[in-house]
Amino acid sequence: MFYVALLSHLKFSIEEVIDDESARCSILSLKGNQLFHCAAPNIDDKYCQLINGLQIGPNVGSCGTAAYRKSRTIVEDIAISPLWKDFKELALGFGLKACWSTPIISTQLEILGTFAIYHGSPKAPSTKDLELIDYFVHFSSIALEKNVESLKVKQLIVDLQQSNKKFEAFTNVLPDLTLILSEDGEYTDIYGSSDELLYDSLSKLIHKNINDVLPKKDALPMMAVIEKTLATNDIQVFEYQLEVQKGKITFEGRTAPIDRYQSNNPSQRHVVWIARDITIRKETEKEIEKLAFFDSLTNLPNRRMLNERLSMCVNRIKRTNKTGALLYLDVDKFKRVNDSLGHSAGDELLVELSKRLSAIIRESDTLARVGGDEFVILLEYVGEDNEQANIESAIVAQKLQSVFHEKFEIGRLAFQVSCSIGICLIDSGNSAIDNILKFADTAMYRSKDKGGNSYSFYDPKLQTLLEKQVELETDIVRAIACDEFCAYFQPQISASGEIIGAEALIRWNHPVKGLIAPNEFIPIAEQYGLIQKLQNIVLRDICILINQLSAENIIDELFTVSINISQCQFNSFTLKAELLNTITDFNVRPSQIKLEITETMLSGDIENTIQQMEELKENGFIFSIDDFGTGYSCLTYLSALPVKELKIDKSFIDKVLDNGTGFSIVETIINLAKSLNIPAVAEGVETLEQFETLKTMHIDAIQGYLIAKPMLKNDYLAWHKHNVEENIREENIENIGHP
């Protein structure tokens, strides 16, 4: 206001000095590209309002043009001046006929505005007038420049106040705590968050020193951070814990230097300290790490952590040439607990077992649960050499087995279980992590094969066998996809020489190894769950053969084809569905399919076995007991089984001519079958003498090389067609063979 009054006073002064009573002065300030009146007390206010905010330019009256050109602009007659073309009606309407305008320039050579003198009649300035104008313009520039600076300071203060309000608003809602700390550790200012993240209330901390407020163990690290921030003049990021009003909090701290924070003490340096509460995040990270590296049930290390510790152990052994060991432990018959009491009971047993095992191992060792009922114990050091390591590992294995001596109580029940342990030594010669685990696992299965409740050391020969089995399993999967498996058929004839059926036997026609016998791949297929796919191939070929024989009208309704059913298949819930789906696709009657099961399959849960057989019988399938006499059947249940055939094993037929035990066993089996009204079939008949002897015992049917070897489907079809028209009797049986 002072500078505006001064400008008005200057105008009055020049108007008095200029020799023209109609002279009227005006001072305009430039804001951006617009002119605004600062002082014009003797010019009509309406005129001032109408031209306020005028954009400067090359033809914008005297003032707009002078500010644009940055030079004096003299218009002696507004009525005829091209500069006033757009504004002359306005000016003349207010009695303004001439206008001399001079730009006001600051000491920084910036245009601050214009100084203008209007006249009531056309008029040109004299030299004295121009000198007088320059004199007053100089004073006007001083006043105007000071006025601009004053306005800038006022605006700066307003902006600063608004900024402070914004900063205060932001800090009040931010979850982070902002501290301004002096280089000496004084709490200069505190912003944001609530008192619960502070060691004490804000009022008790402000202007206090860290060293006086915090315990020494907390104050010293904080002072060290302040010193480092100021020494490096760089941002510091770190984590720290502090016991505050909210409790023990983990903070993420960020510091940055501030110079001249206090105007009254510009030499003192400060730091801004941002403290973020990351307690929940750190706890979450720990939980994630726990899930990643620990078993959720037992809280023991899992396979991932075991691999990391095993890797570190191997590296140490390579450096020190010491010997370690890895023990693979599996609970014997754990499935029995789950099946009888449920998985929750099994989990209780595993938790209790983990506690017992943890109690007997050393702190330097690692106990991990790697899946199901499998545990691994890593012994980082068990001796200077393998001989000592063997002894020490055996002692540890015995200790591990001792935890099973006491029964495991689950609810009101108590279970006595045992374990199988495999041991693999770790030395510089055996340091591949994957091999160590694989070898220990192999040794554990060796203990299982011994009946469990024992420990075994790794045997390289056994591992080689297992690797071959895995390789064979992969090859079986490939062979199934490439349709390398098929059924071979061996005929059965009655004692009178009629063809009554055939047995389907699977074969593998390997592109490199040639024809592979079933005993080489069936056990592997059963172990790896591939047997059902193989049986489906056999069943498919059976159905095709039956349909082809039916189409030739060379079989009757009593003709059957046998297929072997393995133990794992028979126990499967999907067996019936698999059988029915296939024969339905080929429109074959179930009564044409004879399911062969071994005698040993009947020695288990006999009630479930009978139930399974009855269900299949109700669907029309026929049962035959294969290899009868080699197992441990319970004769008490034999009459209750829905069996339509007993097949006498080849091992007995081979001895049928010795007139001793072999003869008696075969005769006993045939008589047993007769008493049960079940047909008896002799397998593996290779000579006419065997056949003649079996006929004297009243055998019902035979199967073997005497009749024909197993044949491919098309070969069997040709054989059957050739022989079905022959009257096969004793006197011409030697003539039966391939066409």
529-559 pLDDT, tens per residue? 888 899 999 999 999 999 999 999 999 989 9
240, β-bridge pairs = 251
Q: Are residues 583 and 720 in the same domain?
A: yes
∠ Cα 208 212 217 (to 5°): 130
Residue 441: predicted pLDDT: 92
Do 539 and 684 belong together in one domain? yes
Instruction: Give the burial string for 295-311 (b: 16+ CB within 10 Å, else e).
Output: beebebbbbebbbebbe
**Worst-scoring range by mean pLDDT, 263-267, 661-665, 680-684, 719-723?**
263-267
Least confident of 402-411, 554-563, 690-699: 402-411
For residues 214 and 343, membership in a common domain is answered with: no
pLDDT band per the 50, 70, 90 thresholds, residue 458: confident
What distance in Å separates the CA atoms of residue 223 and residue 181, rounded to the nearest whole number?
Answer: 10
H/E stretch holding 512 reads none
Phi-psi region of 204 (alpha: psi -120 to 50; beta: other; left: phi over 0): alpha
- At 1 the pLDDT is 46
Closest to 685 in 3D by CA, of 702, 663, 668, 699: 702
Has residue 27 been placed in a domain?
A: yes
Look at the chain and report how many structural domains it folds into: 4
User: What pLDDT, on a 0 to 100 scale, did the predictor assign at position 328?
Assistant: 96
pLDDT band at 471 (very low <50, low <70, confident <90, very high): confident
Q: Between residues 10 and 123, which one has the greater pLDDT?
A: 123
For the domain that residue 641 is a member of, what is the CATH number?
A: 3.20.20.450
Would 473 be classed as within a structural domain? no
Distance, in Å, from the CA atom of 337 to the CA atom of 344, rounded to the nearest integer, reads 10
Residues 577 and 722 in one domain: yes
Structure confidence by residue, pLDDT tens digits, 62-111: 888 998 998 999 999 999 999 999 898 998 999 999 999 989 888 778 88
Most confident of 33-37, 159-163, 200-204: 33-37
Bridging pattern class, strands 374-383 and 408-410: unpaired
Do 498 and 453 belong together in one domain?
Answer: no
Q: Do 124 and 186 belong to one domain?
A: no
Is residue 474, in this structure, part of any structural domain at all? no
Are residue 638 and residue 568 in the same domain, yes or no? yes
Parent domain of 600: 490-727
Q: What is the CATH number of the domain that holds 93?
A: 3.30.450.40
Q: Give the domain CATH number at 244.
A: 3.30.450.20
pLDDT of residue 197: 66
* 621 and 655 fall within a common domain: yes
> pLDDT confidence of 634, banded at 50, 70, 90?
low
